[in-house]
Structure 1
Amino acid sequence: MNYEDVMKLALERGFYFPSCEIYADAQAGFWEYGPSGVSLKNKFLELWRRELIRRDGMMEIDGSQIMSKSVFEASGHLGNFADPIIKCIKCKSTFRADRTISEISKIEIPESADLIEFDNAILQNNIKCPKCKGDFEKTRKFNMMFKVGIGPEEEEAYLRPETCQSIFVDFPRLFKTMRGKLPLGIAQVGKSFRNEIAPRQSLLRLREFYQAEIEVFCNPKKLDEMDRFSEIQNTIIRIQTDAEPVSMTCREAVESKVIPNKFVAYYLGILTEFYEKTGIDVTKSRFRKLGDKEKAFYAEVAFDFEVETTIGWLELVACNYRSDYDLSSHAKKSNEKFEVMDNDEKVLPHIFEISMGIDRSLYTILEHSLKDDKENERIVLALKPYLSPIHVGVLSLIKKDGLKEKTDDIYLQIKRKCDAFLDHSGAIGRRYRRLDEIGSPFAITVDYQTLEDQTVTIRKRDSMEQSRIKISDLQSIITESIAYP
């Protein structure tokens, strides 16, 4: 199934849809999650917390979305967080330079390249405005920060372009009050804001989007002293440097120096294990090592976790070794001390970042899970049961002769233990198909036999197998089947 199929499902089954879609002046790059999407997102984040945050005893905070100008002066965002843009002299339309060059000439230039490289590519390949065939002005940088005015004096501040800066500025307090010890992981889930030049393809490039970020503070002298490395040393990851992705164990990646140390390899390993449990096909994934002109301005070493989809490779997670860039920058700007004690040694911690795009991850899960079962003439969203927006549909065969009342009673019994959907309307086959399409792993049907022997029919989504079970066993069967791994 492809992007258009996922988009159709999203709109028709309440996963996500454009913000303010009833108005003509609604801006691009803003999307909203419906009930199905919210349920999927919440379950995805619960899995993230189980597999990453709780696994390593990390802390989680919830920081402000609006932050002071000083934060982003120190972080470098006001000076460096910009995309290359070109403007048509004739029709005044504006485009991202790297994308326009790639789409027209198939030449790939990293977005962080020098501006003269974009100008030379446009000139040498005779690239014209896609709208009017006019010439372009010189390439320039466009800062993607959303500026806001605070109070009646409109004091300058900014919507955060990433969630991690509050983790960095809060680090001294968190380390002290929570009795921190290196290595220390601090996480945050929330919205970030980037004034994208050309947002497109629904959840894939947004101006307002969700991130789940982890910042691991560490002693740079101890990157190969990783006790927990043994947990993932045999986990298979796919690494790409210059050639095609190569599958290898985390241990092999460290020994061959494809990954610089055990510390980084450990987190790439647990990230792979997490995404495998989301239902994404990890054989279509890769950690792509970024070149000097590709990686972010704050990154010393960077790997992007990318997954192949029908519209190409999507970056789902940025894995950046940020060294001491952030803490030293904030220490210099604020005159606060960021050094901490690691046993008897005073250390300015380095940081390894795992910055996850939630929206893109959810899109990829949907695409990898959406199946066209032609043999049975149905569309199936084969989500992992613990991620399904609706765990079980509770259906009455008909609405009379006491079946409706019995169905309502069963629904009331189980709805607080799992996400259940009550449905009395339509042909039973059509109701099964609707549940298949939204990813529900089970459907329960109440019929005349139910009134005689207190059993119901339970139908499994993937196999379409149906069997009779006792109502008294229903809750335990469903709860066990939808439990997180």
Structure 2
Amino acid sequence: MNYEEVMKLALERGFYFPSCEVYSDAQAGFWEYGPSGVGLKNKFLELWRRELIRRDGMLEIDGSQIMSKSVFEASGHLGNFADPIIQCTKCNSTFRADRTIAEISQIEIPESADLEEFDNAIIQNNIRCPKCKGDFDKTRKFNMMFRVGIGPQEEEAYLRPETCQSIFVDFPRLFKTMRGKLPLGIAQVGKSFRNEIAPRQSLLRLREFYQAEIEVFCNPSKLQEVENFSEIENTVIRVQTDADPVSMTCKEAVDSGVIPNKFVAYYLGMLMEFYEKTGIDVTKSRFRKLGDKEKAFYAEVAFDFEVETTIGWLELVACNYRSDYDLSSHAKMSKEKFEVMDNDEKVLPHVFEISMGIDRSLYTILEHSLKDDKEHQRVVLSLKPYLAPVHVGVLSLVKKDGLKEKTDEIYLKIKRKCDAFLDHSGAIGRRYRRLDEIGAPFAVTVDHQTVEDETVTIRKRDSMEQSRVKISELESIIISDTSFP
């Protein structure tokens, strides 16, 4: 299924929709999750916590969304967090330089390239304004930080463009109070804000978006000493450097030098195992190693985890070895100490980052899970049962003869144990189809036989198989089949 079909499902079944859509002055790049989207997002994050945070014994914090100017001076965002833009001299429309050049001439120029490279490409390929065919002015940089004024004096501060900076500035306190030991992973989930020039395609490029970031603090002299490496050494990942992606185990990737050390390979392997459990087709994935001009300004080594969709390859996770860039920068700016003891050695830790885009991940899960079942003339969202926003629909065949009351009784019994949806209205086939489209793995129908023998019909989403089960067994069946692996 393609982007337009996912968008149709999202709008019609309460997954997500534009913010403030009733107003003509609503700004682009802001979207809201409906009940189905919130259910999917919450379960995705719970899986993330199980498969990464708890598995590796990480800490999780919840930091402020507004941070001081000093934080972003130290981090380099005020000086370096900018995109190249071009403005039409005729109609004054503004565009991202790298994307406009790629769309018109198919020439790929990294966004971090020198401004002259964009200007030369525009001149050599006679690239003009897509709106009015006017000429472009010279390329310039546009900083994407959202500035805010604090208090009546409007002291300068900023909405965070990434969630990780509070992890870095809080590191000394967290390491001390939580009795930390290297390597130590610290995670955070929350919203980040970037003043994107041209937000587009719903969840794929937003000005306000969700991130799930992990920063692993480590001793740089011990990157080949990974206690649990055996857990993932045979996990297969697809790695792309210069040529097409190649499938190899994490151990093979380290031995061949494709991945620099066991430390990085360990977390890439964990990440791959996590995404396999989300239902994304990982045969369409790759860890793409970034070149010097593609890497973020703070990254020493970088891999993007990308997944192929009907609108191209999407970056879902940025995996960056940030060395000591962040801690040394904050130590210098704040005059505080960020070194810690690793056994008897005093260390300024290095950082490996796993920065996940939640919104893009959810879109990809939806696209990879949405099926057009032509044989049965239905659209079905074949989500992993533990990610489904609704686990079971509880339906009465008719509302008379005591069936409505019996259906209500069953619903009240199970609704606190799983995500259940009660539905009395409409033809039973139409109700099944609605449940299929939001990914509910089960539908339970209460009919006249239920009143006689305390059994119900349970229908499975993917196979459409139906069977009779006792009401007393219903709860255990649903919970066992929708529990996290």
The one-character-per-residue Cα deviations of 1:374-408 (angstroms, maximum 9, x if unpaired) are 00100000000000000000000000000000000
Residue 227 of structure 1, CA deviation: 1.1
The corresponding residue for 1:401 is 401
The corresponding residue for 2:420 is 420
Q: How does 1:180-195 map to 2 (within 5 A)?
A: 180-195=180-195
Q: How does 1:75-474 map to 2 (within 5 A)?
A: 75-474=75-474
Q: Give SS of 2:443's match.
A: strand
Provide structure 2 residue ranges, at least 5 long, that are not aligned to the other structure. none
Measured in 2, the distance between the counterparts of 1:121 and 1:76 equals 28
Q: How does 1:16-31 map to 2 (within 5 A)?
A: 16-31=16-31
Measured in 2, the distance between the counterparts of 1:433 and 1:134 equals 50
Residue 346 of structure 1, CA deviation: 0.2
Q: Give SS of 1:165's match.
A: helix
Query: 1:219 is matched by which residue type in structure 2?
Result: N
The one-character-per-residue Cα deviations of 1:225-263 (angstroms, maximum 9, x if unpaired) are 001110000000000000000000000000000000000
Measured in 2, the distance between the counterparts of 1:8 and 1:387 equals 20
Measured in 2, the distance between the counterparts of 1:433 and 1:126 equals 52
Query: 1:144 is matched by which residue type in structure 2?
Result: M
Measured in 1, the distance between the counterparts of 2:419 and 2:292 equals 47
Q: Give SS of 2:440's match.
A: coil
Measured in 2, the distance between the counterparts of 1:339 and 1:482 equals 45
Measured in 2, the distance between the counterparts of 1:214 and 1:128 equals 42
Q: Give SS of 1:117's match.
A: helix
Measured in 2, the distance between the counterparts of 1:422 and 1:227 equals 48
The corresponding residue for 1:42 is 42
Query: 2:229 is matched by which residue type in structure 1?
Result: F
Q: What is the TM-score with the length of structure 1 in the denominator?
A: 1.00
Measured in 1, the distance between the counterparts of 2:449 and 2:66 equals 59
Residue 186 of structure 1, CA deviation: 0.1
Measured in 2, the distance between the counterparts of 1:257 and 1:230 equals 18
Residue 208 of structure 1, CA deviation: 0.1
The one-character-per-residue Cα deviations of 1:355-390 (angstroms, maximum 9, x if unpaired) are 000000000000000000000100000000000000
The one-character-per-residue Cα deviations of 1:282-323 (angstroms, maximum 9, x if unpaired) are 000000000000000000000000000000000000000000
Measured in 2, the distance between the counterparts of 1:119 and 1:91 equals 19
The one-character-per-residue Cα deviations of 1:44-73 (angstroms, maximum 9, x if unpaired) are 000000000000110000000000000000
Measured in 2, the distance between the counterparts of 1:350 and 1:274 equals 24
Query: 1:421 is matched by which residue type in structure 2?
Result: F
Q: Give SS of 2:130's match.
A: coil
Residue 278 of structure 1, CA deviation: 0.3
The one-character-per-residue Cα deviations of 1:424-454 (angstroms, maximum 9, x if unpaired) are 0111011001100110000000000000000
The one-character-per-residue Cα deviations of 1:316-346 (angstroms, maximum 9, x if unpaired) are 0000000000000000000000000000000
The one-character-per-residue Cα deviations of 1:201-241 (angstroms, maximum 9, x if unpaired) are 00000000000000000000000000111000000000000
Runs of 4+ in 1 over 6 A off after TM superposition: none
The one-character-per-residue Cα deviations of 1:160-189 (angstroms, maximum 9, x if unpaired) are 000000000000000000000000000000
Q: Give SS of 1:393's match.
A: strand
State the identity %: 88
